[in-house]
């Protein structure tokens, strides 16, 4: 009964916002020509993750999410140690999302871009047009038999394999997509933190406070 509570911030074409809370209990990663179901408990919308010092790969992509008002379109990345199975991947999905229905007619004009480095001075890592990836409608049809819908509770990561990036801890990775037709964009910036790094130079032991020690009346 594992599930992830996805809390998207869905911007419509008229700049209207809806914020449904959606339970996700089926997640797939589409990479190459295969689709693999993976555990939901490695799914997250966090913008900071910890990595060990092993070599990691981040594969950005677009994300499709089943929703009652129509499939959501977002971006994210699949982060994995090199050579490990997809089932052990961390899947990071942006909370910012659009409706697929508002994109479907001009989807081929969209391009995914990845950046690294500080937000103020990012360096482009790579670009890939969405038309070079598996079409969302094909993925939906493969999963649900319907080219415009996904079964409830389903999320699919479609990896832009050309943009796979050897990620080092302490780096940041930003996945960016611009919708020129509707004049809007999505960015999901993920800060990679090293498990070896400690934000405390000299990490203190946890403290305990006992509260009132005298004859004090509790007001709570």
Please choose, from the candidates 160, 156, 181, 144, the residue with its C-alpha nearest in 3D space to the C-alpha of residue 40. 156
Q: How far is the CB of 1 from other proteins (least distance, A)?
A: 5
Residue number, 126 or 153, with CB nearest to other proteins? 153
CB of 97 or CB of 174, closer to other proteins: 97
Question: How far apart are CB 175 and other proteins at their closest, in Å?
Answer: 25
In the complex with other proteins, the residue whose CB is nearer, 200 or 208, is 208
**Least separation, in Å, of the C-beta of 135 and other proteins?**
24
Least distance from other proteins to the Cβ atom of residue 18, Å? 5
Q: Give the pairing of strands 26-31 and 34-38.
A: antiparallel
90-93 and 43-44 strand pairing: parallel
Distances (CA, A) of 35 to 29, 61, 158, 179: 6, 14, 9, 26
The 10 Å Cβ neighbour count of residue 127 is 13
Nearer to other proteins, 96 or 109 (CB): 96
Under the rule (CB under 8 A), what is the footprint of other proteins?
Answer: 1-3, 5, 18-23, 66-69, 152, 211, 218, 220
Element (H or E) spanning 145, and its range? none
Of 72 and 163, which has the nearer Cβ to other proteins? 72
C-alpha span between 90 and 209 (Å, rounded): 37
Smallest distance, Å, CB 129 to other proteins?
30
Least Cα distance to 94 among 168, 154, 171, 10 occurs for 10
Cβ nearer to other proteins, comparing 149 with 186:
149
To other proteins, the closest distance from the beta carbon of 108 in angstroms equals 27
Given a contact cutoff of 8 angstroms between Cβ atoms, the answer to whether 71 and 148 are in contact is yes
């Amino acid at each position: 009964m594992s599930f992830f509570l996805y809390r998207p911030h869905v911007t419509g074409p008229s700049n209207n916002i809806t914020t449904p809370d959606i339970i996700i209990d089926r997640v797939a990663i589409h990479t190459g020509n295969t689709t693999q179901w993976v555990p939901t408990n490695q799914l997250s919308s966090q913008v900071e993750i910890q990595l060990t010092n092993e070599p990691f790969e981040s594969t950005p992509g677009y994300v499709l999410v089943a929703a009652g008002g129509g499939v959501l379109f977002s971006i994210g990345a699949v982060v994995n140690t090199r050579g490990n199975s997809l089932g052990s991947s961390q899947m990071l999905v942006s909370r910012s999302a659009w409706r697929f229905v508002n994109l479907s007619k001009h989807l081929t004009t969209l391009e995914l871009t990845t950046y690294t480095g500080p937000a103020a001075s990012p360096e482009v890592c790579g670009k890939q047009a969405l038309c070079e990836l598996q079409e969302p409608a094909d993925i939906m049809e493969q999963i649900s038999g319907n080219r415009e819908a996904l079964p409830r509770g389903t999320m699919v990561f479609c990896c832009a394999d050309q943009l796979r990036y050897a990620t080092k801890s302490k780096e940041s990775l930003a996945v960016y997509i611009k919708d020129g037709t509707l004049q809007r964009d999505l960015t999901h910036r993920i800060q990679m933190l090293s498990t070896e790094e400690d934000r405390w130079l000299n990490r203190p032991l946890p403290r305990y406070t006992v509260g009132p020690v005298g004859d004090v009346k509790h007001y709570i």
